[in-house]
């Protein structure tokens, strides 16, 4: 069996083609290309690299993009005040909050300060609340990427056993909400240190979104499973996924790390931005 590689530039280019087509229509109707701001607080090396990827993709699509970063000392009030300025700025159409915010900040209070209308990545509590009851609500780009990759793999979610490893704020939780909205039955391993191997052994689909390198062993997967590895962690200069080992030798289809989920996520950020301006 030859495992099929999922996601990556091929799927990302399909999404970007939709972005380009919708942008042309939007401009023809007198709209303007979205003007985006990435908001970050003391970004790490890996975070800065991802922000640079966002910038290249946005500019290639014809969007305006700039980074607004705060550096220590920064408290919750300062971060909220800066977001309030972006809310009020008519030249800013969308804001991308770079995650994770430093643990010293009250993260939820910071996100609550962002106007949901400008929340391009739909991370604010308002959007997650809507997604819980409305599958058509704006969703975080990573979750949209996961769902698109599962569709690319031809997964029938209503007939598949899905195990989600990790239910974090930006990837696992919104992905869970979207899976449930699609009618999937999902086994969630919220604390990855407990019972991962047993949880993935019988799963038809494994979505690993713990952000912990090697938390899932490829040898524990059911042969023929579809594996979507969301977690990307930089370790000694290398980018590692949540699934360790020769995934391609076990799975029927999988996303490589790096280059699987990431490019698709960035493309959905652009699509979210267009939707935010009504295009």
The whole-model pTM stands at 0.95
CATH fold label, 32-117: Rossmann fold (3.40.50)
Q: How far is CA 47 from CA 29, 54, 99, 139, 195, in A?
A: 36, 11, 8, 21, 30
Cite the residue boundaries of each domain of the chain with CATH code 3.40.50.10860.
32-117
pLDDT one-digit tens code per residue, 256-278: 999 999 999 999 999 999 999 88
Looking up tokens 């991308």 gives 96
CATH class, range 139-263? alpha beta
Name which of 224, 202, 209, 201 is nearest 178 in CA terms.
209
pLDDT one-digit tens code per residue, 190-213: 877 778 999 999 999 999 999 999
Q: Look at strands 232-235 and 238-241 and give their pairing.
A: antiparallel
Q: Using a pLDDT cut of 70, give the percent of the chain over it.
A: 99
């Amino acid at each position: 069996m030859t495992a099929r590689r999922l996601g990556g530039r091929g799927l990302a280019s399909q999404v970007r083609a939709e972005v380009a087509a919708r942008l042309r229509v939007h401009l023809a109707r007198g709209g303007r290309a979205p003007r985006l701001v990435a908001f970050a607080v003391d970004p790490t090396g890996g975070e800065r690299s991802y922000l640079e990827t966002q910038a290249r993709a946005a500019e290639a699509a014809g969007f305006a993009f700039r980074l607004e970063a705060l550096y220590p000392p920064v408290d919750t009030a300062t971060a909220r005040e800066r977001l309030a300025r972006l809310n009020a700025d008519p030249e800013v159409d969308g804001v991308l909050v770079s995650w994770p915010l430093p643990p010293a900040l009250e993260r939820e209070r910071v996100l609550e300060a962002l106007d949901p209308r400008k929340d391009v990545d739909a991370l604010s509590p308002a959007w997650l609340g809507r997604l819980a009851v409305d599958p058509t609500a704006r969703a975080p780009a990573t979750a949209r990427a996961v769902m698109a990759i599962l569709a690319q793999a031809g997964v029938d979610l209503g007939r598949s056993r899905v195990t989600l490893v990790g239910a974090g704020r930006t990837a696992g939780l919104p992905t869970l909400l979207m899976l449930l909205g699609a009618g999937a039955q999902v086994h969630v391993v919220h604390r990855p240190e407990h019972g991962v191997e047993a949880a993935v052994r019988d799963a038809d689909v494994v979505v690993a979104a713990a952000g912990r390198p090697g938390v899932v062993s490829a040898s524990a997967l059911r042969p023929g499973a579809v594996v979507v590895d969301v977690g990307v962690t930089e370790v000694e200069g290398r980018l590692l996924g949540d699934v360790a080992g020769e995934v391609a030798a076990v799975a029927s289809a999988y996303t490589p790390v790096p280059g699987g989920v990431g490019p698709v996520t960035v493309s959905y950020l652009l699509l979210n931005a267009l939707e935010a301006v009504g295009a």
